[in-house]
Each structure stands twice: as structure tokens, then as C-alpha cells.
Structure 1
Amino acid sequence: MPRLFGTDGVRGLANRDLTARLALDLGDAAVRVLGNSAVREGLPEGRRRALIGRDTRVSGDFLASALCAGMSAGGFDVIDAGIIPTPGVAFLTSVLNVEMGAVISASHNPMPDNGIKFFARGGFKLPDSKEDDIEAVLGQDWDRPTGAGVGRVSHETVTATNLYIDHLVSTIAPLNPDKTQPKPLRGLKIVADCANGATSVVAPEALRRAGAEVLVINASPDGYNINKNAGSTHPEQLQAMVKATDAVMGVAFDGDADRCLAVDEDGNMVNGDQIMGILARAKKEAGKLADNTLVVTVMSNLGLKLALKDMGIKTVQTAVGDRYVLEEMLRGGYTLGGEQSGHVINREFATTGDGTLTALTLCNEVVKSGKSLEQLAADFPQLPQQLVNVPNVDKMAATTNAAVQAAVDKESKLLGDTGRVLLRPSGTEPLVRVMAEAATQQQADEVCDRLAKVVADELAL
């Protein structure tokens, strides 16, 4: 049997792969595993609490009800925070001192998909071992509580959202001694594309409270339009709006707002690598970049690493997935890390990638530096890169098939020190990602196309 949990929780087609029954069973199993952990760690006795949130997918309604049912039947009181970004759940799990948090979201995936991921006490994503423990007891009978032992479900959407927004704004605009709110982004005109997702209320409000003039697009979720031709996976509308309105910059989020990409005043994309470079340099100058090190994944562009090296900033590389970035950050005591896709983990303020936090800190750096986003990003040039998704293949054979590995070796030798190739099975979809970096875009395209053809031919299902 394949592992139920992928790189970012349990994910699949809602009501087919991810059913109400599975959500109920996951809630039931999670409280057993994480509740037992709470006892072993000597936490105070009394009522146990969990917190859940979700993005704007219509399937989130029935999945939230089922997840709450599983948790409350297991004896946990559940705080339902409603529609709120994934990092908001992580933050609230920490500050409200609950035993666990859960998010119902498929992030950047299309609307029909959905997912469930958990946070442990303190707001950290679960390690693989804990997910394995949950999977091991999934669907098993046990001595469930009765009577006063069963949990309650409370709905606290407004309170939870306001707590989270207060936290976000405070990261760049802590209250003055007289309790007035400073406006560090005053005069900054920005376009925010909320992907019709979970940050449709949060991001515009946080940016405005910090002083920015915010033009908002794709912030009218109807349950069906999340990520549809919008947000970080479809930035074309944002690029056009920034140019049409003479905005200084734009930011684009995904459905659950754990990632953020940006657009400069000319409509050019600024990716996660460049954002991380800008923020890493700023933290180094402020003396807040631990060990002068940025944690990146294997997908980060070689150009970022070379530019940072010239600035005296080291990079540590992990597997793809912000959970692996965080694990390395915690292991090494690092304060900043992330992915090219726009997941940026700022450990000074968060336990996971937070797109709205990234947007606020990036905007703040534009204002403080007195430079345009285009000028800041130019210091982190990207080697030409091509990425091709090869569907309908045996993705797990990508690292073992002899013909595929021979092709990878051949292309790697061809590129030498001027580029690199990478094959990676998707953690959330049935496909293999083929990536190539080279001195020219034509060379990157050609290498990527050749490798993608070998993968499609050799690994076809």
C-alpha cells in the first residue's frame, strides 16, 4: 500500500480520494496519536483542544464537519476558525496553546482537489514518523470517550482572523508606546492577487493596516474559483494590473496563502529565489540571519546560490518541501529558508511558510531600501531554467530506471559547471518534474525536452 501522507499532508480528489469518512477517520486517529503525545510530554491535565481552518473550496464544508466530528468524538474540544490561511492555523495553534491544528486545503491545486494536514503543539508540521503513527491507527476501534468526555465544537472565525492579522501587521509595524499603529508602507501602491483563496480578507487588511494603498484582485471566493486563472500559479492578470495602474509592485498568493510571488513595476515576475535573496541580505545586514545561512531546496536556481556567495551568505540545501526546509532550519538553528515556488519561512515570526508575512516583509524592504523591486531583484539573476511536468508515468521509478539515469548523467556531463539537471517525482500529483538550468534558455529547453522524452518513454504506465 502506498503511503497515505504525501509531502504536504493527505491530498486528492475531494469526495473520491479524500472522502468524509477518511476525514473523520483522520481526525479520530490524529487525536489518538497527538493526544497521547501530550500525555507523554507531561502537559497539564484537563480538556484537550484542537484548532482547524480551511481554504475556500466548496468541499471544505463537508470535510471540516467530518474532521471536527472525528476529533470531538475522540474527546477534543475543537475550535473551528473557518476560512483562514494555512500559516494562520499554524500561528493560532501556537498562541492559543492547543494540542494540535489541522488545515483543510489543497494549496495551489485545482478546486476539485482538497487535502488535510496537521500541526503539532507549537504550530509545527508533523514529522514523517508522526504521520506514520496516525496512518497506523487509522480506522481502528478504540475505547472512545462517552458522556462528558466527548468534545465540543466552537466557531470562532472573526476572533481567530483578527488575532492572526494583528500578528502579521506587528511583524513590520509593532504598536507605538501610545498604542497607535505605525504605517511603514505609507505611499506604497501595490496590487494583491488573493487567488480567490484563504487570504482574500487577511492580506488586503494586513497590507492596508501597514499603510499601503492596496488594489485587490481575485478576492471574491465562491467555493469554485480558487486558483482559477488567478494567484501565484496564474500571475498574468496581476502582471497586467500592475502595469495598468502604475503600481509599484504586486504580490500573488496561492489558495491557502502559504506562498507568495511578486511582480515588479514593469510586470516582470520576481520568484521565490529572488525574494529569499532580498530578505536574506536584509537579515544579514540587520544581524538577524543566523550563521549567515539561507536554507534552500534542490529546486533553487544556481544563480541565487552564486549571488549569495558573493555577499558572504551560505546556502544549505534540502529536499523539496517546506517541511524539510523547516526541519533543517530547526536542526541548524537557521532563521530563514524556503523554496523557489514562494514558500518562505521566517523563523523570527512563523513556524511555516507564510505568504502574507512574506508580502509584508518584502514590501517593507522596498520602502526601507529606497529601491524598486526590480532593482532589488536584479542583484539575484537567475540562470535560464526550464521545468517540464511529465504525467502518466511511474514516478517512483524515476530514480531507479537505468535508461533514465543514463540520460541524466549524459546531460549533466554536457552542462558541466554551467548548469544542472534534476528529476523529481511530485509529492502531490502523479507525475515527474524534469528541470534543467543552463547558460542559455535554448540550451535549458533542449536539455529538458530530451530528458522529458526519455522519462515519458521509459516510465509510461
Structure 2
Amino acid sequence: MAAQLPLDDIARLADLHPKPGHIRFQYGTAGFRTLGSVLDSVLFRVGVLAGLRSKKLDGKTIGVMVTASHNPEPDNGVKLVDPRGEMLEASWEAHATSLANAASTEDFLQAVDAVVKNAKIDLSKPAKVIYARDTRPSGPSLVASLEDGLKAIGAETRDAGVTTTPILHYLVRAINTKGTSAEYGDDSEDGYFKKLSGAFKQLVSGKPALPPLVVDCANGVGANAVEKIVPYLGDSLTFIPHNTATATPGALNNACGADYVKTTQKLPPSLANELKSGERGCSFDGDADRLMYFYIDARNQFRMLDGDKIAALVAGFIVELVKNAGLEEKIRVGIVQTAYANGSSTKYLADRLPVRCVPTGVKHLHHAAEHFNIGVYFEANGHGTVLFSPETQGTLASYEPSTPAQSTALKHLRNLVQLINQTVGDALSDLLLVETVLAHKSYSGVEWDSLYVDLPNRLVKVLVADVRAFQTEDAERRLVSPRGLQGKIDALVKRYEGGRSFVRPSGTEDVVRVYAEAVMKSQADELAFRVAGLVYDETGGDPATRPKEFL
């Protein structure tokens, strides 16, 4: 007799987690994300879905991370992690959304049954799930709801506790590759820290000591990771951690962290007196999957080194190592960006390696990067990583160098494979990667920053009645609808030297985002606001109520 869904158990526990009637949930790039106070039913249902996903994949372990990353503290969220540590397969996002929005327990049971039938799930297979959370106050109660969902579907579970999103992704891959030729590492936090620190120490061995690094931990779970890795690193790198108040109510991501640095383009106030001229620092976000660098220049001015700058630094270094190892004919290095990448970074990189532009969203970048032998991707917001294809890893493992210089470069490439968390953007892993390149190049922030000069840019949000009216093409760089609007934008852009602007609908709120660049800051600002004005007019806004800055 075929295995059946434990409907009574699911129904009994589902009744404890009713869906709020007034909210529609949507599983997107970041999973589900909204106010933590309304997510109880969603977490329960995600628990059931995670169990079904594991059964679908023959009992491979699925990950569940409870976090809202860079969002304010009242928000929370949840996302599923597939067996290789990658994001949930896109086709299952619809299943997640369907289960989350079932109005009643009866509707939910029907939706679960539909997922089982549509995905052809063998219910006799085991379900295995590992889960973790960040430091948000709403985390413990939401994890309890998740655990009820996992219990309802009969999943075998492992609680990874309070940890970073990248560590959870690492653990999922390590569990599922254990004992195979593709073994990723020991499936523990200790295994993660040993893997990263061991590779880093090899990479900087013999290099001049790096100056201490100021690390803004966003008052989030990254503070725990920084504290834990210190003994593993020994004297190879010294951290000066700030914003480590993980237990202080309201502190998470508040006037600190990677998103604050990127959007305000200034130092967190808490670091105002911590950096002197020439010194560098960096910021994590709340779950430690984004990284922003910065330094103070000779005029005592703040200078930001964002994801584009990290990509340029890292990609250039890897291309050089591949060439020095004598592998440029066998290994193709490429870089993936979105339309938000600064035009100067695209020009700089395109002169050195293939560049591909894809729509905004980590899943698009990650999949595109997989098409290169070594694929580098970093969003301007500081989320990114480097992917080494299985074939490339095989090449690096078996290649016989013919000179000492080739041997050295090959050793560095092999260590980079170990240092870089290839499952997801990882602030701690990326930090060690950046510090490796700085040590090899003997760069300070000044030399790094001078690789290319950013074009001044501005990002503006316009509140619209119906965000669905805005449709794009060409990796979100051009509007298809509303009809005629792109032509008006093109005409406007031509009036500005070095002008570039695009308009794209937000995937998470009823706003349209307007990005603009020009050779002068005042012109970039003016172009952004003029394009925003066109968008405002297009949505039928009354010109008399048009915001002054859009005029």
C-alpha cells in the first residue's frame, strides 16, 4: 500500500497556526519576508513544504533559514535551501506561495495534496531538514512554528541554532556531499571555520602582515561568526569588531551594516571616530551574507568600496592566477553583473574578461555564473561569490605545472576553492578573499579604489498605483511598457554627458526604482529625478501634486 500523507497530524497542528486573512504572501528571491508578527502560519507551512521537498529529492537534506537579512528588526522571513546549498528551485516557489496563502486548514490540506500530485512525490521517502535562525527577537517563536510543520510531515530534523545564513548554506551542502568525491567539508561550524581559516593562512603565508581590520557586524549574527573565527585565524588577521550588540532591542541593522553604508554612502555613526586617514573597514548585514568595504582618504573623506569594486579586485586577481598557472586556454573566467553595476566597473571589467548582464536577483546571477569555468558575481550591494565548475576543480586537482611560478599560482587557485563559500554570498568568506588579494597586491584602500573611478549615480524610488504596469527587457535595462515611456527616457538621457538611466519595478513593494549615472554628481541627481518625474506622470499622477524634486 502506497504511503499516505499524515493528514490528521497536519490538520491538528495547522489549526494552531491559522493564516491571517488580510495578507497575501509571496515567495521571492529572498523567500518570504515581512513583519515577523504575521509569519506564524507561513513558518508552519514552510516546515511541511521542506519535508515534501526532501522527499521529492530522495531524502536529501533541505535547509531552512529564518532571517530577514538587512531588513529592520521587526521584519523576519524564511527561505529554503536546496541540497547543494543553492536557492530553492524556481518551480517550487509557486508551491511555497500556494501553501502560504491557503485560507483555512482544509484549503491547506488540499494545497499540500496538490503539491504531492503535481510534483509526483513518493511519500515513502524520508524527509530530512536542517534549520537555523539569525538573532531577531521574533526568531525563537517562528522556529517553534517551523518545528510544528516539520513534526506534522514527519521530518528528521537538525537544529543548527543561531548562525549566519552562509553557514546554514554551507552545512546543507556539507551534509549532502559527505563521503562523496565532491565532499564540501565537515558538516559543523567548526568544519566551516577550519576550512576558511586554513585556506586563508596558506594564501597569505609569507606576505607582509595585514593591518587590523575594523568590522561593522550590524549588531547581527555576523558578530558571533567574527568572534568564533578569531582563534582559528591566529595572528594571520586581526579584527576590530564594532556593532556587536546582538541582544540590544532595536539595534539590528539600525544606522549600521552593509545596506546602510551602500544606501547612505557614508560611515555608520558608530564608526565616526574609529577610522583614521588611510585605514580600511567593512560592514556585514544582519545575517552576514553581504559585505561592503570602505576607507578614509588623505582628505579625511569616506570612500566606499562596494560589490562592483570587490568584483573588479577579485576577478582581476583570479584572471592573473589562471594566466600565471598556464591555464588560460583551459579555464575561462567570466563575470556576471546586473544593470545596477556602475558603468565604469563594467567598462573596466569588459577590457579584461567576458561580462554578462542579467536581471536583478541572486538566483539570476548564480545561474549565469555557473556557465563559466570560473564565474564571479557580486551585486553592487555587496552580495556575491565565485563559482568554480566541477570540471575546473578537476583540472586544478590534476594539472601538472611545468615551472615554479605555475606551481605557486596553482596552489593559490586550489586554496581559493577552499576559501570561497560557493553556495551563496558570504560576508566572512568574501572578507577573507578581499584581504587575500590586498595582501598579494600590497594594496591599501587607495590603490584598490583607483582601479577605476565610479561614475556618480543616484537611485530614486517612485510610489506607483500598479507596479505590474511596468514591464522590462534586456536584463531589466529597457522598458517595454508603459508604451512610449522608454523613448522619452532615451531622449532625456542623451542630454547628459555619460548619461545612463533605467527604470525597473520592485519585486517586493509597490514602487518603481529609477537608477541614473552621469559624469557629474549634480547631473546624475538631476537625471534621476527627471526620469522619476516621467514615471510619476506616466502613472497618472496629478502634476499639481508632483513632488518638487521630480520637477
Give the SS at the match of 2:246: coil
Matches of 1:242 and 1:76, distance apart in 2: 48
Aligned counterpart, 1:284: 319
Aligned counterpart, 2:272: 240
Matches of 1:184 and 1:63, distance apart in 2: 46
Matches of 2:244 and 2:232, distance apart in 1: 17
C-alpha deviation, 1:5, in angstroms: 1.2
8 Å Cα contact 2:334-2:372 kept in structure 1? no
Q: TM-score, normalised by structure 1?
A: 0.77
8 Å Cα contact 1:183-1:209 kept in structure 2? no
C-alpha deviation, 1:122, in angstroms: 10
Q: Which deviations, in whole Å up to 9, do the C-alpha atoms of 1:403-426 show, x marking residues without a partner?
A: 64343232344458x231111222
Q: Which deviations, in whole Å up to 9, do the C-alpha atoms of 1:201-235 show, x marking residues without a partner?
A: 11344366432222111111125321011111223
Q: Which deviations, in whole Å up to 9, do the C-alpha atoms of 1:365-390 show, x marking residues without a partner?
A: 11221121221121122111111122
Return closer, same or farther for 1:98/1:366 CA change in 2, 3 Å cut-off: closer
Q: 2:445 aligns with which of 373, 389, 392?
A: 373
Matches of 1:8 and 1:453, distance apart in 2: 30
Return closer, same or farther for 1:315/1:233 CA change in 2, 3 Å cut-off: same
Superposed CA RMSD in Å reads 3.2
Aligned counterpart, 2:403: none
Matches of 2:130 and 2:273, distance apart in 1: 37
Aligned counterpart, 1:448: 528
User: Can you give the 5+ residue segments of structure 1 that lack an aligned partner in the other structure?
Assistant: 100-120, 124-158, 176-180
Which structure carries more relative contact order (alpha carbon 8 Å, separation 6+)? Answer: 1
Aligned counterpart, 2:129: 50
Pairs within 5 Å for 1:86-165 = 86-97=165-176, 160-165=188-193
Amino acid at match of 1:240: A
Matches of 2:296 and 2:45, distance apart in 1: 48
Amino acid at match of 1:206: I
Return closer, same or farther for 1:35/1:444 CA change in 2, 3 Å cut-off: same
Return closer, same or farther for 1:457/1:170 CA change in 2, 3 Å cut-off: farther
C-alpha deviation, 1:247, in angstroms: 7.2
Aligned counterpart, 1:136: none
Give the SS at the match of 1:92: helix
Aligned counterpart, 1:24: 44
8 Å Cα contact 1:366-1:372 kept in structure 2? yes
Matches of 1:56 and 1:26, distance apart in 2: 20
Matches of 2:48 and 2:495, distance apart in 1: 53
Q: 1:411 aligns with which of 470, 476, 492?
A: 492
Aligned counterpart, 2:304: 269
Pairs within 5 Å for 1:43-442 = 48-97=127-176, 160-174=188-202, 186-206=209-229, 209-210=232-233, 211-222=236-247, 224-235=250-261, 236-237=267-268, 240-244=272-276, 248-266=279-297, 267-287=302-322, 290-310=331-351, 312-347=352-387, 348=417, 349=420, 350-391=422-463, 393-399=465-471, 400-402=481-483, 404-415=485-496, 418-442=498-522
Amino acid at match of 1:357: S
Aligned counterpart, 1:140: none
Matches of 2:450 and 2:230, distance apart in 1: 24
8 Å Cα contact 1:239-1:263 kept in structure 2? no
8 Å Cα contact 1:302-1:419 kept in structure 2? no
Return closer, same or farther for 1:393/1:259 CA change in 2, 3 Å cut-off: farther
Q: 1:36 aligns with which of 56, 69, 72?
A: 56
Q: Does structure 1 residue 458 correspond to structure 2 residue 543?
A: no
Matches of 2:206 and 2:190, distance apart in 1: 18
Matches of 2:207 and 2:51, distance apart in 1: 42
Q: Which deviations, in whole Å up to 9, do the C-alpha atoms of 1:44-68 show, x marking residues without a partner?
A: x985421112211111111111112
Matches of 1:460 and 1:219, distance apart in 2: 46
Matches of 2:429 and 2:315, distance apart in 1: 15
Aligned counterpart, 2:86: none
8 Å Cα contact 2:456-2:520 kept in structure 1? yes
Matches of 1:355 and 1:460, distance apart in 2: 42
Matches of 2:229 and 2:507, distance apart in 1: 32
Figure out how many residues of one structure are paired with residues of the other and give that number: 394
8 Å Cα contact 1:295-1:325 kept in structure 2? yes
Return closer, same or farther for 1:380/1:170 CA change in 2, 3 Å cut-off: farther
Matches of 2:466 and 2:450, distance apart in 1: 39
Return closer, same or farther for 1:13/1:460 CA change in 2, 3 Å cut-off: farther
Return closer, same or farther for 1:36/1:398 CA change in 2, 3 Å cut-off: same
Q: TM-score, normalised by structure 2?
A: 0.65
Q: Which deviations, in whole Å up to 9, do the C-alpha atoms of 1:269-303 show, x marking residues without a partner?
A: 11110111000001111118952311111211110
Amino acid at match of 1:323: K
Matches of 2:260 and 2:448, distance apart in 1: 23
Matches of 1:328 and 1:445, distance apart in 2: 32
8 Å Cα contact 2:259-2:381 kept in structure 1? no
Matches of 2:229 and 2:506, distance apart in 1: 33
Q: Which deviations, in whole Å up to 9, do the C-alpha atoms of 1:9-63 show, x marking residues without a partner?
A: 11112223xx2111101110232133213269999x9854211122111111111
Q: Which deviations, in whole Å up to 9, do the C-alpha atoms of 1:112-165 show, x marking residues without a partner?
A: xxxxxxxxx999xxxxxxxxxxxxxxxxxxxxxxxxxxxxxxxxxxx9433332
Amino acid at match of 2:342: N
Aligned counterpart, 2:30: 8
8 Å Cα contact 1:48-1:98 kept in structure 2? no
